[in-house]
Copies of this chain bind each other. A is one copy, B any other.
Amino acid sequence: MSSSSTDLESTLIDLKKVIEPELKRYLELSADCPDRLRDSMTYSLLAGGKLLRPALVLIACEACGGSRETAIPAACAIEMVHTYSLIHDDLPAMDNDDLRRGRPTNHRQFDEATAILAGDGLLTYAFEVISRHQKPEQAALKCILELAYAAGPEGMVGGQMADLQAETEKITKLEELEQIHLRKTGRLLRSALRMGAIVGGADDLTLSALSEYGYCLGLAFQITDDLLDITGNQAKMGKAVQKDQTHGKATYPGLLGVEPSRNHADQLIQRARELVSPLGERSQSLEQLASFVLNRDH
């Protein structure tokens, strides 16, 4: 393990220690939220994930000269949105998955109705958290727009719809595949960077550099995800592998081959690192993150 990846691992562990208690605190809801609903939301939100998206929010905020803590509401909100999307994607009517992060999926642990409502609850609550807690107000409103656009019908939800349709209308072009992934995962990752930059008070130039960095990182992340589905280890991944091929899903290695996919991810990460290098020393974590995405094994 290189020293920079060790540094990043420790940064991510540090950030997780900051974010996890805040997520817990936000889930201390009044008795108006039925126990079963809160349990179900908590089960998936605090499932021991890497908390990569909220970490990105805090890292971007810091890279723009802001203080980490100021972006915590936005950071927690994006994890709620990400978690809701996993819960709904796993449903029988969607991907029908039984296993997620090494544990039963939400609807297997609870039931389908509860899982649908837990997802709805997390999605809605994400916007409550930003509107109630994110300061300053102007940044809060911008963060809501970023997150809603990234997660909405022209973003993540649209990408998931396109992905489901692609199972019947086979994808043969790289461009189509890229369009799905940009919506399904890219825009949300990008919004993490943008929200952090907004709270950190970034100027327009920095905001747009971090935006493009987010796009590159998101696509590279998807490519390595596809590669891990082929080469990964079920125990490390905490979910079933080699599912894509079984389901006839279009993937980067499927369309491009394994080596060219690796090269493509490599180029994207190269570009991502270039984009943030003007930030100087403050870009360190962002550059490390880029390398991490490329070299991750889970």
**Chain A residues engaging chain B, CB cutoff 8 angstroms:** 29-30, 32-34, 36-38, 41, 84, 88, 91, 93-94, 111-114, 116-117, 119-121, 123-125, 127-128, 130-132, 137-138, 140-142, 144-145, 147-149, 151-155, 157-158, 160-162, 164-165, 179, 183
Closest to A128 in B: B148
Q: Decide: B158 and A33 in contact? CB cutoff 8 A.
A: yes
Are A124's CB and B141's CB within 8 A?
A: no
- A88 contacts B120, C-beta separation under 8 Å: yes
Complex: A41 Cα to B219 Cα, angstroms: 28
Tell me the bound Cα distance from A121 to B137 in angstroms: 25
Residue from B36, B120, B128, B145 in contact with A128 in the complex, judged by beta carbons closer than 8 Å: B145
Residues of B within 8 A of A164 (CB): 113-114, 117
Given known contacts A34-B162, A127-B127, A140-B141, A157 and B120 CB-to-CB distance under 8 angstroms: yes
A131, B144: Cβ atoms under 8 Å? yes
Q: A149 and B128: CB pair below 8 A?
A: yes
Complex alpha-carbon distance, A114 and B161, angstroms: 7
- Chain B: which residue is nearest A148 at the CB level? B128
Contacts of A128 in B (CB 8 A): 145, 148-149, 152
Q: Is the interface of A mostly helix, strand, loop or mixed?
A: helix
**The residue from B113, B149, B151 contacting A93, defined by CB atoms under 8 A apart:** B113
Q: Assuming A29-B153, A37-B153, A37-B161, what are 6 further A-B pairs, CB within 8 angstroms?
A: A34-B165, A88-B116, A91-B113, A114-B164, A117-B164, A120-B157
Residues of B within 8 Å of A151, CB to CB, are: 124
Q: A137-B138, A145-B128, A148-B128 are in contact. Are A30 and B121 (CB under 8 A)?
A: no
| A124, B149: Cα distance in complex, Å | 8
Instruction: Check A148 against B124 for contact (C-beta < 8 Å).
Output: yes
Whether B152 lies near A124 (C-beta < 8 A) is yes
* Cα A34 to Cα B32 with chains together (Å): 36
Q: Among A38, A137, A152, which residue has the most Cβ atoms of chain B within 10 A? A: A152
Question: Once the chains bind, are A33 and B131 in contact (CB under 8 Å)?
Answer: no
Contact B153 A38 (CB under 8 A): yes
